[in-house]
Structure 1
Amino acid sequence: MDRVILIVGGHAVTWGEAVLALLGAAVLGLFWLALSAGRASRERSLEAAGAIERQRELDEKLAALTQIQSEMTGRMQTIGEVFGNRQADLVRLIAERLDSLQNRVGDGLNATSRQTSENLSKLNERLAVIDAAQKRLTDLTGEVLSLKDILSNKQTRGAFGQGRMEAIVRDALPPAAYEFQALLSSGRRPDCVIRLPGDDRPLVVDAKFPLEGFTAFREAQGDEARRSAMQRVRADVGAHVKDIADKYLIPGETQDIAVLFVPAESLFADLQEHFEDLVQRAHRARVLIVSPSLLSMAIQVMQAIVRDARMREQAHQIQAEVGKLIEDVRRLRDRTVKLDGHFRQASDDVGMIVTSADKVLKRGERIEAMEFEAPGAKVEAAPPAESLPNPLGRSYAAE
């Protein structure tokens, strides 16, 4: 045991020391191992406690999460129900809106189709009116062309003017107030004479009018041609006015003025606008130039004069008729007075009949009540009966 086995730092290490050293080292190792095991056990216990604590916290958190999840599930169910109800309401509202919109669209389409149909019918009517107007325009164009042909001929133009004048006179005056183509003492036959009331002298109307100069005046293209046409108009119309004054103004037989009828308003307007001197010359020659409208107005004045004259002529007949009417009214009054007397007499007779009926009624009532009078007793007068209404409106008392 004392054998040296090792020298360390000058110290000889024996087997005993070596064994002791190994034993000490083993003890230290065991101690260290025990300490390490205890520390490890403590750490493991601490870790186990921490794990338990963490498990507990995890369980609490899981419980909280479970509660939150259940609450979320309830809320989600509530929200689902609310959304379901809202969705149902939304679907119902959308369906109602769609139905209303469909109805409005249908009504709008029906109204639009009805309005379109009405517009088409109106359009067809207007097209028919336009077709008729076009046809009338075509007819009028033909008439205008025929009128142009008529006016280009002197004889036909004179017949046209005379026809218009005769139509105006015939429509307004009675047949006895005018005469066409009447014979004058000079042997002339004017187109028309009009007889005024209270005057034996007729008013002469001439319907012929020179148109060639006016046609040239309207178609003139230059100043020279226009002046030439105006001179021709003055010459033609002046000569015609002079012929009327010479032929138809007969002192003591015709009126002091004669009428020159212009068959168109446009010709009369041209005369008044461009040939005032010619109009004044006609006035001085006692020839009155009139258009169709002026002749119509003059004829209407003459019609009123004729009517007033007829009224004055028939005044005595009117007075006689009024006298007869007054006599008839007087006779009607006398007969009404007689009829009133008859009604009064009938009313008095009816009153007496009612009085007698009251007496008979009272006596019948007494007989019915067995109220006989004693022999020799004086019969008392029946008490006055109450006034009874008369059918004729009067009341009578018992006598």
Structure 2
Amino acid sequence: MFDSTSQPLITIAGFAFNLMDSLLVILAAILVILVITIIGANRRRSVLDTQVAERARDAEIHMNELLKTQAEMQGRMQTMAEIFGRRQAELNQSIREQLTGMSNNLGQTINAQTKSTHENLARLQERLAVIDTAQNNIQSLAGQVVQLQAILSNKQTRGAFGQGRMEAIISDALPPNAYAFQATLSNGTRPDCLVFMPNHAPSLVIDAKFPLEAWNNMREAPTPQEKQAAERQFQTDMDTHIKAISGKYLISGETQDTAFMFVPSESIFATIHEDFEGIVQKANRAHVIIVSPSLLMLSIQVVQAIMKDARMREQAHLIQKQVGSLMEEVVRLDDRVTKLQGHFKNACKDVEDILTTAGKIKTRGDRIAQLDLKEPDKTDMPSAEPAPQLGLDIQK
């Protein structure tokens, strides 16, 4: 009978292995692997046990530290509770003292407030008397306003009012020799104001005769039809006045090529620029600038700055001459300082020579003071020794 287990299965290095031998080798290898695995597991278990033990010791150390810290915290909390108790007692005492002081102060304040209230009531009565007086003044002022309205209703007096506002602005901003009111031009016309420009430039003409009557008629028109008619009349009056300014006051070589038409109210100036743009454009084409009090003041300030700049330019050559003289004096001062520095150097050298000579004299004096000038005994005197040298040569 054929036995398959006795037949060779593999041959390694000349040795034949049958099936049984192969199974034994495999089992032996498996046993070796199991033994190695068990040994490694035991080693890992021992390392893990060691780590667990170390962690347990660390946990015990931390627990002891926590217990110690808890004990210290309990002590501190007890100390803090005692401190808080003392502080609360002190705070209660301080609050009681402050409440007592506040009560006293409140009583004093109430008394002072009562006294102040009586004084304020007395002053209020005085103020009421002043208010009564002011009310009487207001009534008087209202009467004056009515009189002013009556003045403005007259064409001549109204023109004088605009002229007065313009003259106040000019006289407040410019010196008296920089302008002239109602001056006569070469063509015989008399503008309301002439502003003399610097450097013999043509004068600036300002007209203050604004057609305020047509403006009032336009603003006081009761019906839309009458308002439209008043607006047309106002535009006609403005066109006529602009042509009159341009034709009478703009003289080549004598006046500026642009004149100012003064409007005595800011509201009128704003309404003209807002509702009557055509009038403004016609005035610009005719070289007539419509100005309000604020714009006139600004323009006069610009003229004032130009005059100041012109005066500064006139004095510039004097400043340059004085600066040149100053530079000559600076050069002369530098020469004299250089000479004085040389004198100082010579004087310092002379002082050093004097100090050197004085030092030599002091040295000779010290040598003389060290000499023994007592008369020696005859027995002690040397027979033929030369006389000592005093060293009094001052020239050395």
| TM score, norm. by length of structure 2 | 0.62
The 1:359/1:129 distance shift into structure 2, 3 A limit, reads farther
8 A contact 2:155–2:213 mirrored in 1: no
- CA-atom RMSD in angstroms: 3.9
Give matches, 1:262-301, under 5 Å: 262-301=263-302
8 A contact 2:205–2:249 mirrored in 1: yes
Equivalence for 1:43: none
Residue among 367, 374, 379 paired with 2:391: 379
State the identity as a percent.
48
Alignment deviations for residues 161-192 of structure 1 (CA, whole Å, 9 cap, x no partner) = 22222222233334443222221111111111
Q: Please list every run of 5 or more consecutive structure 2 residues that lacks an aligned counterpart in the other structure.
A: 1-90, 374-385
Equivalence for 2:48: none
The 1:356/1:131 distance shift into structure 2, 3 A limit, reads farther
C-alpha separation between the residues in 1 aligned to 2:142 and 2:165?
20
Q: Please list every run of 5 or more consecutive structure 1 residues that lacks an aligned counterpart in the other structure.
A: 1-92, 383-398
C-alpha separation between the residues in 2 aligned to 1:122 and 1:357?
90
The 1:182/1:133 distance shift into structure 2, 3 A limit, reads farther
Q: Which amino acid aligns with 1:379?
A: G
Q: Post-superposition shift, 1:360?
A: 2.8
Give matches, 1:203-282, under 5 Å: 203-282=204-283
Q: Which amino acid aligns with 2:293?
A: P
Aligned residues: 292
C-alpha separation between the residues in 2 aligned to 1:209 and 1:133?
39
Equivalence for 1:193: 194
Give matches, 1:1-399, under 5 Å: 100-111=98-109, 135=134, 138=138, 141=142, 144-198=145-199, 200-370=201-371, 375=387, 377=389, 379=391
Alignment deviations for residues 252-301 of structure 1 (CA, whole Å, 9 cap, x no partner) = 43222211111111221121122222222222222111001111111122
Alignment deviations for residues 129-149 of structure 1 (CA, whole Å, 9 cap, x no partner) = 995898498376566445434
The 1:104/1:261 distance shift into structure 2, 3 A limit, reads same
Alignment deviations for residues 344-395 of structure 1 (CA, whole Å, 9 cap, x no partner) = 23222222232233223223333333357x736372889xxxxxxxxxxxxx
Q: Post-superposition shift, 1:230?
A: 1.3
Q: Secondary structure at the match of 1:288?
A: strand
Q: Secondary structure at the match of 1:323?
A: helix
The 1:185/1:121 distance shift into structure 2, 3 A limit, reads farther
C-alpha separation between the residues in 2 aligned to 1:239 and 1:220?
22
Q: Secondary structure at the match of 1:205?
A: strand
Q: Secondary structure at the match of 2:290?
A: strand
Q: Which amino acid aligns with 2:103?
A: V
Q: Which amino acid aligns with 1:274?
A: D
Alignment deviations for residues 172-228 of structure 1 (CA, whole Å, 9 cap, x no partner) = 334443222221111111111123234542221111112112222222332123212
Larger radius of gyration: 1
